[in-house]
Amino acid sequence: MSAPIVTPVPAAAFDVEAVRAQFPVLAQQIRGKHLVYLDSGASAQKPEVVVQAVADCYRGYYSNIHRGVHALSERSTTAFERAREQVARFVNAPSPREIVFLRSTTEAINLVANSFLEPQLGPDDEILVTEMEHHSNIVPWQLVADRYGAKVVAAPVTDRGELDLDGLTRLIHGRTKLVAVTHVSNVLGTINPIADIVRLAHAQGVPVLVDGAQGVPHLAVDVQALGCDFYAFSAHKVYGPSGVGALWARAELLAAMPPYQGGGGMIRRVSFSGTTFADPPERFEAGTPDVAGVIGFGAAVEWTRALGLDAIAAHEHELTQYAMARLADIPGLRLIGTAADKAGVVSFVMDGVHPHDIGTILDGEGVAVRVGHHCAQPLMERFAVPATARASFGVYNTSADVDALAAALDKVRHWFG
Interface with ligand PMP (CB under 6 A): 104-106, 134, 136-137, 182, 186, 211, 213-214, 234, 245, 375
- The nearer residue to ligand PMP, 235 or 405, going by C-beta atoms, is 235
The alpha-helical segments, DSSP class H, found in 267-308 are: 291-307
Determine whether 123 is exposed, middle or buried from the number of CB atoms within 10 Å of its CB (0-12, 13-18, 19+): exposed
The one catalytic residue in 72, 368, 375, 380 is: 375
| Smallest separation (angstroms) from ligand PMP to the CB of 204 | 25
- The nearer residue to ligand PMP, 237 or 315, going by C-beta atoms, is 237
| Smallest separation (angstroms) from ligand PMP to the CB of 133 | 7
| Smallest separation (angstroms) from ligand PMP to the CB of 1 | 30
- The nearer residue to ligand PMP, 395 or 406, going by C-beta atoms, is 395
User: How far is Cα 228 from Cα 195, in angstroms, rounded to an integer?
Assistant: 8
Query: Strand 230-234 relative to strand 208-211: parallel, antiparallel, unpaired?
Result: parallel
| Smallest separation (angstroms) from ligand PMP to the CB of 40 | 11
| Residue 375 appears among annotated catalytic residues | yes
| Smallest separation (angstroms) from ligand PMP to the CB of 379 | 11
Name every residue whose Cβ is closer than 8 Å to that of residue 146 and which is 6 or more positions away in sequence: none
User: How far is Cα 227 from Cα 230, in angstroms, rounded to an integer?
Assistant: 9
Distances, alpha carbon 396 to alpha carbons 53, 209, 213, 319, 322, in Å: 20, 30, 19, 11, 15
Q: 143 by DSSP, 3-state: which?
A: helix
| Smallest separation (angstroms) from ligand PMP to the CB of 391 | 14
First to last CA, the chain: 60
Q: 309 by DSSP, 3-state: which?
A: helix
Report the length, in residues, of the chain.
417
- The nearer residue to ligand PMP, 209 or 395, going by C-beta atoms, is 209
| Bridge partner residues of 388 (DSSP) | 372
- The nearer residue to ligand PMP, 66 or 374, going by C-beta atoms, is 374
Q: Is the dihedral of CA 225, 226, 228, 230 positive or negative?
A: negative
- The nearer residue to ligand PMP, 368 or 375, going by C-beta atoms, is 375
- Phi then psi for 297, rounded to 5 degrees? -60, -45
| Smallest separation (angstroms) from ligand PMP to the CB of 183 | 8
- The nearer residue to ligand PMP, 139 or 251, going by C-beta atoms, is 139
Strands (E), 250-321: 267-269, 276-277
User: How far is Cα 290 from Cα 96, in angstroms, rounded to an integer?
Assistant: 18
Distance from the Cα of residue 274 to its chain's centroid = 37
Q: Which of 100, 94, 128, 136 has its CA nearest to residue 222?
A: 94
Cβ 57 vs Cβ 79: under 8 Å:
yes
User: How far is Cα 55 from Cα 33, in angstroms, rounded to an integer?
Assistant: 30
Catalytic residues: 375
